[in-house]
Structure 1
Amino acid sequence: MPPAGELIVYRNFESDEVFSGVTALIKAERAGATGEMPAESVRRYCDCVEKMAAAAEGLGIAGSVWRTWLARLLSQRENAFALSHERRKISGGTMLRLAANDFDTLYAYMNYDFRALEKKIGVDIGGCLADFTPSSKKSENAAAAALAADFAMASSGAELMAAAEKFYEERGCGKFALYCGFRWDSHERGIVPAAPIEKITLSDIIGYEEQKKIVAENTDAFLSGRPANNVLLYGEGGTGKSSTIKAILNECAQRGLRMIEVYKHQINDLSTILDAIKRRNYKFILFMDDLSFEPSEVEYKFLKAFIEGGIEKRPDNVLIYATSNRRHLMKETWGDRADKDDDVHESETMQEKMSLVDRFGILVRYISPEQKEYLRIARALAEEYGVDASGEEFELGAIRWELKHGGFSGRSARQYVEFLAGGKKPEE
């Protein structure tokens, strides 16, 4: 059996503590070392077993914990072979032959019988390595769990490689294969998964059919490789702007859509984010929620240049979807209007402030519902939550609720129904 040191394409596996620890113990046992292994080997083996068992428990996978760990590792790690297969089919090339040799090695490791090793170091795990049973079948990551199941069916290195290629072609590789929602972490200087994400669909958002259609059609064009626009959803709070964008992600993730949430104070990091995603074979939406700027804030100038005015062309796989309570994103006061008398080039100053919103090709307005529509939303939500909405008291309670909770909106309706679903009655 080739040693782990001969891995070429998957050489970064060796930086994994469990993989390097287990393979080192396997090589020592295969080398035919005599006598008892040192206590350090026992400690290393037990540490590795603990980590592998925890991973198998989290993924909800029965069977070999070592095989589960290898599947998890392969789904997480990126390399030239994985990236070349990311959501596309590749045939031929030297990299393919190098990967084939690696999969023969990995297959041999995956099917190693740990009983010989346990006998040598004097440890009895009770067979859990080969026949682990999770307490729940509910998986923290369905993609990695599916890959582990495919690995279990492989009877050769070639079949193991075929399972990996299938995973790469359908899901991609690394974190973008395992998750669909992300956020930019300024401290880590990286894109990190945002999990779990809210499970909401467009049908869960009651009303606003035209608005949802506009956003959905633009996203469909984007995913289909047709021209698409940056989108600004603006209007009153609680009307479903952010929920619409989250629903779009849930409904389009299988088509390769990924979303990265970026906060206003992180706008200066947009170029770094772009460098990390522009060559990936996914479609990315940079999501900026509740976007607006005070007169003293100058980040809007950077965002304006980033969207359209810089020397580097915006990648075809990136769009910006933003929400705001302000149509023009910029705060304007009566004092600003009074200052116009001192501005020699008043029109140019106003154009400078308003030009950011022009970078969004599609503007979608969300207005607060009238009372009739508000009550219709509340009744529909009541049916969803199993709350009785047949009596007059339900409508009166809904109206009293909105008076104390921000007016007519889908958010107020949902909060009211959830309040009732919790078994309480609203105060008079």
Structure 2
Amino acid sequence: MINMCTNLNSFSKLNSLLLYRNILDDQIVKKLSKLISSLNKNNNTDTKTLKNNYYELIADLIKIAEQENFAGDIWKEYLLKLIITDQNIFSLRCEQDAKNIGDSLYQAAIHDLKILQQIYQFKLQNLAQQIELKDLNFINNFLPSKRSKNKETPASNFKKIIDAFNNHRATTTLTKSLMEYYQDHGVGTLGLYKAFRWKDNQLIGIKDPDSISFDNLVGYENQQEKLIHNTEAFLNNKAANNVLLFGDSGTGKSSSVKALLNQYSEVGLRLIELNKDQMKELPKILESLKKRGLHFIIFMDDLSFEDFETEYKYMKAIIEGGVEVKPDNVLFYATSNRRHLIKEKWSDRDQESGEVHLSDAIQEKISLSSRFGLTIFYESPNQKDYLTIVKELAKQNKLTISEEKLKTKALQWEMWHNGRSGRTAQQFINYLLGQEA
């Protein structure tokens, strides 16, 4: 077996990593290191086994590239994902405050990144040549089958670091670029995604969250202004309130919160979807967030409780500041059709209902909604506002229909369907688009 080139030998330096040692436990890195080691030692491993191990490695990388929408050199993309998602003492400190990293920790990072720069330059075709295989050119310029329209998908979100690796030869420059990235975008899955679900005691990134923006939302400017002002105060570490958006169905409450995320994710805003059955998980969720350097909105959509449900007490206790205190980097945003989130019945006000302290019982049921410092009301639009929404949506979608005909059909639609609302208007526009197709 002919001698290995320098960038193959560089894999032996991985064991010298100080901060990024989690990379050593990665299965792809293990397989690649083992294959290179077999060649370097010239240990008489038969060619058939070497080729099989190589193809198995490439098969794994192709599967990952398809899942993650990697494009280009899939080894480089894969290694970069390992680097930006690695949660170590350096990356987490940078996420919190990259400007105040101690010099010793900084030097340790430079030590590691010098090694990783060499590993980054590794070419899979060099490995293929050593075991006398024909180069699989497509793995160096991979094109995934499905390219997401969402600009914040994992494959595109670390373009800045790809540029830094490709263009900056000085390790100090690369290190500073990576530090800035950790602080701006976060570490681990928090750096790859902006919206999450809580599942199996961990945050799971949502690959393609709703891409709606405030430009897509017609009307309710006053409500949106209040929401934006509160969120900007939160992101600037100023006093901000938990928010309850309540009102009629289809008026844009949920869409407003999603638009917030799309507008401010680049400055460290993240959203975690939570349903009422997961309220008891709040202490675990807050524990995982409180030491992170980003800002989190825990979002509960269409929130309401029947009078026999008690899960709300978990959130109420946290908002009130009980034993488990809400971290400063977390706010609760909820939408509901009810002003008071817990269902009330007329019997609750009946003096003969058997409740000794009637006033206390009623106050308990309205207490949760009162814990939201900012309450924003979304009411159904009147006919004029409804038609304005329809007209603007038709314009956004470039519908070719006369204004008079649009008005007539829109009024018919709202009578036959769910009444006047932004959602009804959007459904009407979708219908017209389908008719034009």
TM-score clears 0.5: yes
Query: In the TM superposition, what are the counterparts of 1:95-174 in structure 2 within 5 Å?
Result: 95-112=105-122, 114=124, 117-128=127-138, 131-134=140-143, 138=147, 140-141=153-154, 142-155=156-169, 157-174=171-188
- In 2, distance between residues paired with 1:325 and 1:28? 64
381-390 or 358-367: bigger deviation: 381-390
**1:194-233 alpha-carbon deviations (Å, 9 max, x no partner):** 2211111122211111111111100011011110000000
Instruction: Kindly provide the amino acid, as one letter, of the partner of residue 74 in structure 1.
Output: I
Work out the CA distance in 2 between the residues paired with 1:39 and 1:149: 38
SS of 1:75 mapped into structure 2: helix
In structure 2, the partner of 1:250 is 262
Q: Once structures 1 and 2 are overlaid, which stretch shifts more, 399-408 or 215-224?
A: 399-408
Q: Identify the residue that residue 180 of structure 1 maps to in structure 2.
A: 194
Q: Distance in 1 between matches of 2:337 and 2:244?
A: 10
Query: Equivalents in 2 of 1:255, 1:120: separation in Å?
Result: 46
**1:85 CA drift (Å):** 0.9
- Which range moves more in the overlay, 345-354 or 104-113? 104-113
Equivalent pair of 2:344/2:365 in contact (CA under 8 Å): no
**Aligned match for 1:93, one of 85, 92, 103:** 103
Question: Distance between the aligned counterparts of 2:120 and 2:419, measured in 1?
Answer: 60
Q: In the alignment, what sits opposite 1:25?
A: 35
Residue number in structure 2 paired with 1:61: 71
Q: Which moved more, 1:326-335 or 1:116-125?
A: 116-125
Aligned residue pairs, count? 420
Q: Aligned partners of 1:270, 1:135: CA distance in 2, in Å?
A: 37
Q: Which amino acid aligns with 1:315?
A: P
| Structure 2: runs of 5 or more not aligned | 1-9
1: CA distance, partners of 2:60 / 2:406? 52
Separation of aligned partners in 2, 1:37 and 1:94: 46
Aligned partner of 1:356: which letter? L
Q: CA deviation at 1:345?
A: 1.6
Identical-pair percentage: 36
3-state secondary structure, aligned to 1:342: coil
CA apart distance, 1:190? 1.2
**5+ long unaligned stretches in structure 1:** none
Is the contact between residue 94 and residue 101 of structure 2 (CA under 8 Å) also seen in structure 1? Answer: no
C-alpha displacement at 1:102, in angstroms?
A: 1.8
1:81 Cα deviation from its structure 2 partner: 0.9
Matched, 1:276 2:285: no
Distance verdict in 2 for CA 1:13–1:370, change over 3 Å: same
Quick one: distance in 2 between partners of 1:331 and 1:18?
Answer: 53
Pairwise CA RMSD:
2.4
CA distance change for structure 1 residues 222 and 135 in 2, over 3 Å: closer, same or farther?
Answer: closer
Q: 1:76 to 1:325 in 2, by over 3 A?
A: same
Q: CA deviation at 1:390?
A: 2.6
Task: Quote the offset at 1:147 in angstroms.
Answer: 2.1
Amino acid at match of 2:193: Y
In structure 2, how many angstroms separate the alpha carbons of the residues matched to 1:162 and 1:54? Answer: 32
* 1:277-310 CA distance string (max 9 Å, x none): 1110001000000000101101122221121141
Map of 2:388 onto structure 1: 376
- For the Cα contact (< 8 Å) 1:118–1:124, is it kept in 2? yes
What's the TM-score once normalised by structure 1's chain length? 0.91
| TM-score with structure 2 setting the length | 0.89
1:78 aligns with 2:92: no
2:252 corresponds to 1:240: yes
Q: 323, 339, 355: which one pairs with 1:327? A: 339
The 10-residue stretch of structure 1 (401-410 or 231-240) with the greater mean CA deviation from structure 2? 401-410
For residues 415 and 114 of structure 1, the distance between their equivalents in structure 2, rounded to whole angstroms, comes to: 50
Distance 1:123 1:159 in 2: 37
Is 1:207 the counterpart of 2:219? The answer is yes
User: Which stretch has the larger CA shift, 398-407 or 76-85?
Assistant: 398-407
1:240/1:126 Cα in 2 relative to 1: closer, same or farther (>3 Å)? closer
Amino acid at match of 2:311: E
Kindly tell me: are residues 114 and 318 of structure 1, through their superposed partners in 2, closer, same or farther at Cα, counting changes over 3 Å? closer
2:51 corresponds, among 23, 39, 42, to 42
Alpha-carbon distance in structure 2 between the residues aligned to 1:410 and 1:114: 53
Displacement of 1:90: 3.8
Query: How many angstroms apart in 2 are the aligned matches of 1:289 and 1:111?
Result: 46
Q: How big is each residue's C-alpha offset from its partner over 1:231-264, in whole Å with a ceiling of 9 and x where there is no partner?
A: 0000000001001100111111111110100001
User: 214-223 or 306-315: which moved more?
Assistant: 306-315
Q: What is the DSSP-based 3-state SS (H/G/I as helix, E as strand, rest coil) of the residue aligned with 1:85?
A: helix
1:365 aligns to 2:374 (yes or no):
no
Report if aligned partners of 1:107, 1:160 keep a CA contact under 8 Å in 2: no
Q: CA deviation at 1:372?
A: 1.2
Contact 2:184 2:267 in 1 (8 A): no
The 3 A distance-change label for structure 1 pair 153 and 273 is same
2:60 is aligned to: 51
SS at match of 1:168: helix
Contact 2:85–2:188 (CA under 8 A) maintained in structure 1: yes
Q: Counterpart amino acid of 1:182?
A: F
